[in-house]
Amino acid sequence: MKKSFDSGIITPHPVLIIGTYNEDGTPNAMNAAWGGQIGRGLISISLGEHRSTDNLRRNKEFTVAFATEKMLAACDYVGLVSGNKVPDKLAKCGLTVTKSDKVNAPVIDQLPVTIECRMLEMQEEFGEQRVVAEIVGMKAEEDVLTDDKVDLGKLGLVVYDTVAKCYRTVGDNVGGAWNAGKIFG
């Protein structure tokens, strides 16, 4: 029998590591789980007021890397402390960056897959800043690709369990989308 609740939550969420440049040109990063893709080439992220939010207002370009099990502690750390209080937070957790050639934003060297984004709008909605951006490029390490496509079987991707407030690895391929249902005709 199903139990009835007066609230609910969508889970899991992606773990997006947002890379931006500070005013002085040093890199910053934050963890954002409240976001996702909203259409072909478009993403939306819900942001509170952070150093990264100010960086985005000023610069309008950023990167989004996907958190991995191998780099889990560093990905969590950038979500725990603000660059306003710990200016060298990337160095503190062992992250280094290379400037993207497509956007004015840092690509984190230790995270294998990063998309490069240009902000289209930042709107205050329900007490948060809703950022909508277009994806203008992607950088991916060759060893997480199969036939030039990102292979989740190789990436070691983690997602955010919004109920247990923990990270979980993404598991096996258990069936083809737009395919498994074909057994019903």
Ligand X SMILES: Cc1cc2nc3c(=O)[nH]c(=O)nc-3n(C[C@H](O)[C@H](O)[C@H](O)COP(=O)(O)O)c2cc1C
The binding site for ligand X (CB under 6 A) comprises 28, 30-35, 46-48, 50-52, 76, 79-84, 160
Q: Which of 72, 79, 23 is nearest to 50 (CA)?
A: 79
Comparison of 76 and 151: residue with beta carbon closer to ligand X: 76
Q: Which of 66, 60, 30 is nearest to 134 (CA)?
A: 60
Least CB distance to ligand X at residue 71 (A): 14
Least CB distance to ligand X at residue 83 (A): 3
Helices (H), 11-140: 51-59, 72-80, 89-92
Two structure tokens written together for 64: 């989004």
Least CB distance to ligand X at residue 152 (A): 20
Least CB distance to ligand X at residue 155 (A): 18
Residue 16 bridge partners (DSSP): 32, 66
Comparison of 103 and 158: residue with beta carbon closer to ligand X: 158
Q: Which of 177, 155, 122 is nearest to 14 (CA)?
A: 155
Helices (H), the chain: 51-59, 72-80, 89-92, 152-155
Least CB distance to ligand X at residue 177 (A): 26
Comparison of 132 and 145: residue with beta carbon closer to ligand X: 132
Comparison of 47 and 119: residue with beta carbon closer to ligand X: 47
Terminal Cα distance for the chain, rounded: 30
Least CB distance to ligand X at residue 52 (A): 3
Residue nearest to ligand X (CB): 79
Q: Quick check: 155 and 68 in contact, CB under 8 A? A: yes
Comparison of 166 and 180: residue with beta carbon closer to ligand X: 166
Comparison of 50 and 139: residue with beta carbon closer to ligand X: 50
